Amino acid sequence: MHKIESGRPPWFKCFCGGHPLFAAALVAAASVAMADLHLTWGVCTAAVLGAVGTVFVGWRPGLAWLLCGWISIGSFVWRDQSRATAERELIAAPGGWMQADVLKDAQEKGPYWTAPARLSGGGKMGATVLWQGRGDPPVAGSVVTAHGNFGPLPEARNPGEFDRAAWLRKQGIAAVFHAEWDDTLETGRWAALGARIRHGFRDRVTAGLPQDSQEANVIRAVVIGEPPPDADALIAAFRNSGTLHVFSVSGLHVAMVGSIGWLLLSWAGVPRRQAVLFLLPLMFGYSWITGNSAPAVRSAWMAAVFLGAFVFRRRPDLLNALGAVLLGAMLWDGQLLFQAGVQLSYGVVAAIAVGSALTSRAFAAMAAPEPYLPNQLMTRWQAFCLKQRRNLAQSLGVSLAAALGSAPLTAFHFGLVTPISLLANLVLVPLVFLLLCIALAAVALSPIAPLSRTVNRLNGLVANASVSSARLFAAVPGGHFRVGRPVPPMLLVYDLPHGAGAACFTGGSDGAVLIDCGDRQSFKRSVMPSLRQLGIEPDAVVLSHPDGGHLGGGAPVWEAFPIQQALVPVALAHSPAFQSWIHEGPNAGVRIRQAMPSDSLGFPDGAKLEILHAPEPRAVNGIADERVAVFKLHWRGWKFLLTSDAGMGTEKKLLDAGIDLSADVIISGRHRTDLTLCDAFLNAVHPQVIIASNASFPAEEKLAPTQVAYWTSRGIQVLDQGVTGGVSARVGADGELRIVGFLSASPVTLTPHSQKSGP
C-alpha cells in the first residue's frame, strides 16, 4: 500500500523538479520585484518562497530558492545604490575634462550625437553616463575625451510622456555629460574593425535599393534593428497589427537565423551535435553585428542553454533554458526585470512553453486525420493536406499562446490590445523569415555585386509585401483597440523645450483637437507619445502661426493621428513645415481652412473656439511671431485666451479693435523680439490665472522672475511652466475649474462666476 501525502500538491513538486532553474528564476524575480517596493518586503518574499520550497519540494530546492532570492536582492540593491550615489556626486561635481569608454555606437542627431559611456578618467571612475557630444560620432569601444559639465537625467514634464529618466536609470545611467566643444576620439584597431564589419553588413543588405526608400527602411529595421526615420505611419501598421516584434531585431530574429543555419547544416549532412558548435557562434555573431540589442542577447543565451543539451546528450527543456537566462539576469542585475522588453520576451516564451499544449487543443479538429481512413491508404495529396493542416494547427496554437501571454503586458505598458495578431503573425513571421534568408544570401553574394543587388531588389518586393500585410491586418475593424481609464474632458498645455508650443483639448469620448503641435522633435518625443499613452486621438488641428516650433513638422502629425481638418492662420509662409500643411495636407485627406476674424469653430464637449484676431495674409516676409492668430476658447462657462507667441504689436491691434477680450485664463508663449502681456492688455482681459511658457534656452524664451512677480502683485495666479511642467485644466461636476501642473503639488481652483455673485 502506498503512503498518501495529504496536503502536498504533487503537480507542484513535479513541475519544480522538472524545471528547477525556471522555479529558482521565478523566486529571484519575485524577490527583486518586491525589493523594488521595499527592501524588507523583498527579503521576506525570498524567505517565504524558500520555506514553501522546503515544505512542498525539498530542503535543497528550498535553500537554493532562498539563496537565489537574497543574492539577487543584494546585487539589485548594490547596483541601485551605486548608481544613485554616482548620480548625486556627478550632478554636484564641477565641470572639467572627462574621459570615457563608449559602450554602444553613437546615435546622430544633426551636429550632435549621444551614446552611453563609462567614465575612465577625470570623474567618478566606472560610472555610466549618457554622453552628449559634437563632431564625428564614435563607435562602440572608442575612447572619448572632452571638457564639459554633468546634468540631471531628462525627467518627464508632461502627463503621459515617456519617463526617459526612469528608463535611463534602469539602464544604470547616472547622469548626462554635456560636452562643450568637439570631442577627441581614439578608436582602437579592434573597435574600428568591428565598426567596419557592422557598417559593411548594413550597406550590403540594401545595396541596389534607394537608401531612403520604404524597402530599404523595412529591410534595415528587420535585419539590423535600425528604426526608420520619420516613418511613424509605417511603424504604426506593425504596432496595430500586433507584429511590431518582427519590425526590429528581437529574439525571434536570432531564432530565425539559428533555424536558417540549422537547415543549411542539415542539408550538408552535419550531425546535430556538431551543428550546435556552428550555430551558437552564428547566433551570437548575428546578435553582435546588429548592435547587441538586449532581446537578441537574451535569445542567443537562451539558445546556448537549450542547444547545449544536445552537446551533453541531455533532453532540452525550453522552460529550463528560459529559467537559466532569467536567473542569470536577476543575479547579475535585477534592474533588467523592470524593462518592458524583458517582461514581454520572457513572458511570451513562458506562455508558449506552458500554454501551447493547452491552446493547441482549440485547433485539434483541424489536425485530426480523416475518420476511417488509415494513413497507408491516403493519397499523396491527402497526406500533404493533412501535414499542412497539422502545421497550421500547431502554428495557431503557438500564436494563440503567445498572444494570450503578451496581451496583459502590452495592455499594461502600451494600453494596446491586438487580437488580430493571432492571424497577422501567421503571415508576417514567414515573410520576415523569407526576408532574412534573402538578406543573408545577398550578404554572402556581395563579392558578385550585380547578383547581390538583384537579390536585394527581390527582397524589396518581400519588404513591401510585409508592409502591405501589416497595413491590411491593422485596418481590420476591431483588430486592435486601446484600453485604460477613460480620459475626462480637459485642456492640456504642454511644456516643451526651446519655446515650442502645443496644447490639446479633448472632450473625452467626444473627440479631440490639437492647438499647435510643437516642433518636429518635441511632437515625436513628447506630444505624440503623451497623447497615445493617455488614449487621446485628435482628428483636427488649429495652428496659431507659421512658426516651425508649433507645426509638428507637418506630415508626422497626420501620419500619427487621423487628422481630418486643420485651421491655419495664413495662406502663405516661408516655413517648410507650414508649406507641408498647405500643399501636402490636402493630399493626405486634411481639409485646410483659413482663420478669419469673428469666425468660430465648434469643439468637442460643447466648447467653441472664437477667432479674435487673424494676421494679415499678405505679410509673407514678416517674422512668424508677428503673424499670430489669437483665439478664445469658451468651455462650460469658462473662457481661455490663447495668445501663443503674440507680442505687444498684436495686443495693440486687439485693443484697437474694441472686441471683448475678457477671459479667466491666459495661455501665453514668448515673442522673440517684443514684450508680451502689457498692462493695457491685462486690464482688458482681467485674468485670474496666467499659464506662461518658460524655456531655459534660447534666452529670449526664458520667463523673467520679475515678470512673474509683477503679475502676482496684480493678484493674478501664475503657473510658470518652467516649474509646473505641462498644465491640465478640468471642469468638475460642481462647475469649478481646476488647473494643475504635472510637477506641482496642488491645483489652482477657480470658483464659478455664479457662485461668486451669489449672497
Note the pLDDT tens digit of each residue in 271-309.
888 888 898 899 899 889 888 877 778 788 888 888 877
C-alpha cell at 101: 569608454
C-alpha cell at 521: 522633435
Q: Is the pLDDT score of 9 beyond 60? A: no
68 Cβ partners below 8 Å, 6+ apart? Answer: 24, 25, 27, 28, 31, 46, 327, 330, 331
Q: Is 641 helix (H, G, I), strand (E, B) or coil?
A: strand
Q: Is the pLDDT score of 616 beyond 60? A: yes
**Which percentage of the chain shows pLDDT scores above 90?**
46
Output the pLDDT for position 174: 92
C-alpha cell at 234: 509605417
The packing angle between helices 449-474 and 214-224, to 10°, is 90
Q: Is the pLDDT score of 250 beyond 80? A: no
CATH for 490-757 is 3.60.15.10
Question: Quick one: 60 exposed, middle or buried, by C-beta within 10 A (0-12, 13-18, 19+)?
Answer: exposed
- Count of CB atoms within 10 A of residue 627's CB? 23
pLDDT tens profile 506-517: 998 888 999 999
Give this prediction's pTM: 0.81
Highest mean pLDDT among 79-93, 397-411, 478-492, 723-737 belongs to 723-737
> Regarding predicted confidence, which is higher, 312 or 525?
525
Question: Is the distance from CB of 39 to CB of 77 less than 8 angstroms?
Answer: yes
623 Cβ partners below 8 Å, 6+ apart? Answer: 672, 673
Output the pLDDT for position 667: 97
Mean pLDDT over the full length of the chain: 87
153 Cβ partners below 8 Å, 6+ apart? Answer: 87, 130, 164, 165, 168, 169, 173, 175, 176
pLDDT tens profile 553-580: 999 999 889 999 999 999 888 889 999 9
pLDDT tens profile 73-109: 999 999 999 899 999 989 888 878 889 999 988 888 7
Q: Is the pLDDT score of 7 beyond 60? A: no
pLDDT tens profile 642-657: 999 999 999 999 999 9
**Average pLDDT of the residues in 193-213:** 90
114 Cβ partners below 8 Å, 6+ apart? Answer: 106, 107, 130, 131, 132, 133
Output the pLDDT for position 367: 75
> Distance between CA atoms of 544 and 569, rounded to whole angstroms?
6
Nearest-5° Cα angle at 120, 118 to 121: 135
Q: Indicate if the alpha-carbon torsion angle 632, 634, 640, 645 is positive or negative.
A: negative
- Count of CB atoms within 10 A of residue 295's CB? 22
Q: Is the pLDDT score of 380 beyond 60? A: yes
**Which percentage of the chain shows pLDDT scores above 70?**
96
Output the pLDDT for position 758: 43
> Distance between CA atoms of 452 and 669, rounded to whole angstroms?
55
Q: Band of the pLDDT at 678, cuts 50, 70, 90?
A: very high
149: left (phi over 0), alpha (psi -120 to 50) or beta: beta
Q: Is the pLDDT score of 666 beyond 90? A: yes
User: H-type helices in 715-757, by residue range?
Assistant: 721-724, 753-757
Reported as half-sphere exposure (CB side, CA atoms, 13 A), residue 93 has a value of 22
**Average pLDDT of the residues in 48-66:** 92
Output the pLDDT for position 26: 93
Output the pLDDT for position 335: 86
Output the pLDDT for position 392: 80
Domain locations in the chain as residue ranges: 10-88, 94-187, 339-414, 490-757
| Region of poorest pLDDT, from 8-12, 122-126, 224-228, 660-664 | 8-12
Question: Is the distance from CB of 169 to CB of 88 less than 8 angstroms?
Answer: no
> Distance between CA atoms of 685 and 646, rounded to whole angstroms?
15
- Asked whether the bond before 604 is cis by omega within 30 degrees of 0, the reply is no
Kind and range of the H or E run holding 491: strand 490-493
Output the pLDDT for position 318: 81
Output the pLDDT for position 119: 92
Q: Indicate if the alpha-carbon torsion angle 161, 165, 169, 171 is positive or negative.
A: positive
Q: Band of the pLDDT at 231, cuts 50, 70, 90?
A: low
Q: Is the pLDDT score of 1 beyond 60? A: no
CATH for 94-187 is 2.40.50
| Region of poorest pLDDT, from 196-200, 299-303, 505-509, 690-694 | 299-303
